[in-house]
Amino acid sequence: MLIIVESCGGGLVNFRNLSTSLLVAILVLLGGDLCFANTPDWDNLMKNGMSAFKLGDYVGAEKSLQIAVQQAEKFGPEDDRLASSLNALGVVYRNEGKFAQAEQLYRRSLQIREHSFGPNGLSVAECLNNLAVVYKEQGKYAEAETFCKRAVNIVEGQRGQDDPAVAAGLNSLALLYKVQDKYAEAERIYNHALQIREKALSPNDPDLAQSLNNLAEVYVEEKRYVDAERFFKRALSIDEKSSGPHHPYVATDLNNLAALYCLQHKNAQAESLYKRSLRIREEQLGPNHPDIAESLNNLAALYAQEGKNKEAKELYLQSLKIQEKVLGADHRSVAVTLSNLAQLYMQQGKYADAEPLSKRALQIREKVLGPNSPRVAASLREYACIIRKNGREAAASKLDKRANSILATWKKTNQK
């Protein structure tokens, strides 16, 4: 049985992907390998789709996995190969920002597996976790928490409380608390996950590095920079030993540590690590992978902080070009880069240049996340600030009012 699980943090992400909301899926095999008997065409379509996904070729991944779903439909409406195909395609859709389509596929997969394996099967937990990812991305934290907790309970019941699979579910749950600024609760759960992994795994297991990164991220939010640096460096050491100095995991660790140094205004150290991270990603992932765009964004943000506006602009534009090519013009990561570039222009007092970029970022977020997302509220405030500088006070006030209303409603909903 193929299990395709996407952590609520999107895999080895947490602070590893600081400047963009681009998330990377985890593909986990539980209970067997990818192959089913006598289905070579379907097997190959699934393998090709997941390989394309890992390389950042979402268009190619989507195409292969759509055909895999069509093939799997022939096996029958309750066949687990269909559920696996739906989950795999859902992961791609989620990373493309197609949340409604991803949710539909995940729910159908969940129905198949609940019918086939009962409500407490491990594969059911996978579907629940994937649904939680979609809700988390849309700011529907109450719904995401319900699904995350149910998934953790299932895995604990099937494998015991000290199984590493439980730690993965706990990481997802902790991230939900972190994104809601509930840092004490997030830290408690991340620590629990780390303890499970330290007990069950080897000292240099990459999953241990993930847990260290997760905790370090919380420490950053709490401004415990010494603790954060220690954990980031330990994670980096583990990944270098287990995966080699040129692995993408190492690039992500370097990116995290650089981001921490950036917050502390240790710019020379940050720049060196960002550049090393970028080199690894270019070597291992190719010139058009979404992670390359992330690295360019982060380096651009550092240059903007240093007042190197020309260099920052060039890198933002390079990042934008990759994202639009690979992810599409309306992806949420495109909105992040547009907003970053708009803020660069704002720093220079170029409000006329900033306005169309900020407006487009707002439109993308409204389309992808819906009109009532907290991220839409942040875009509204940014756009309001720009048009206020451009002399349109009345229009700016309306945008601020709408942003405040969104945030008030969201806060009330998520406090229930």
Over residues 109-165, the pLDDT tens digits come to: 999 999 999 999 999 999 999 999 888 887 788 899 999 999 999 999 999 999 999
pLDDT at position 49 is: 93
What was the pLDDT predicted at 34? 39
Could you give phi then psi for residue 306, rounded to 5 degrees? -90, 0
Give the least confident one: 36-45, 57-66, 392-401. 36-45
Q: Options 3.30.700.30, 1.25.40.10, 1.10.10.60, 1.10.40.60; which CATH number does 1-135 get?
A: 1.25.40.10
Identify which of 250, 223, 306 has the alpha carbon closest to the alpha carbon of residue 16. 250
Burial label, 197 (beta-carbon count in 10 A; 0-12, 13-18, 19+):
buried
Q: Answer yes or no: are the C-beta atoms of 399 and 384 closer than 8 Å.
A: yes
Is the pLDDT score of 257 beyond 90? yes
Q: Percentage of the chain with pLDDT > 70? A: 90
Q: What is the pTM of this model?
A: 0.81
Mean of the pLDDT values across residues 38-45? 82
In this prediction, residue 179 has a pLDDT band, given cuts at 50, 70 and 90, of confident
Question: Residue 58 — very low, low, confident or very high, per pLDDT cuts 50/70/90?
Answer: confident
- Burial (Cβ within 10 Å: 0-12, 13-18, ≥19) of residue 270: buried
pLDDT for res 139 = 77
pLDDT of residue 372: 86
More confident call, 41 vs 39: 41
Confidence of residue 352 (pLDDT cuts 50, 70, 90): very high
Tokens of 24: 């990377």
CATH number for the segment(s) 244-319: 1.25.40.10
Whole-number pLDDT of residue 137 = 83
Check whether 411 has a pLDDT greater than 60.
yes
Predicted confidence at residue 416, as pLDDT, reads 52
Q: Does 199 have pLDDT greater than 50?
A: yes
Positions of CATH 1.25.40.10 in the chain: 1-135, 244-319, 329-416
The whole-number pLDDT of residue 414 equals 63
Please, which pLDDT band fits residue 415 given cuts at 50, 70 and 90? low
Task: For residues 254 and 13, give the distance between their C-alpha atoms in angstroms, rounded to a whole number.
Answer: 12
Q: What CATH fold (topology level) applies to the domain 329-416?
A: 1.25.40
Mean pLDDT of 378-391: 94
Question: Which of 116, 250, 68 minimizes the C-alpha distance to 60?
Answer: 68
Q: Mean pLDDT across the chain, nearest whole number? A: 87
Indicate the DSSP class of residue 22: -
> What would the mean pLDDT of 330-339 be, rounded to a whole number?
92
**pLDDT higher than threshold 50 for residue 11:** no
Q: Smallest Cα–Cα separation from 84: which of 164, 30, 136?
A: 30
* In contact, 36 and 233? CB cutoff 8 Å: no
Range 256-280 average pLDDT = 95
What is the signed CA dihedral for 290, 301, 173, 95, rounded to 10 degrees? -20
Q: What is the average per-residue pLDDT within 354-378?
A: 92
pLDDT value, residue 38:
54
Tokens 């907290």 sit at which residue? 374
Q: What is the per-residue pLDDT for 2?
A: 35
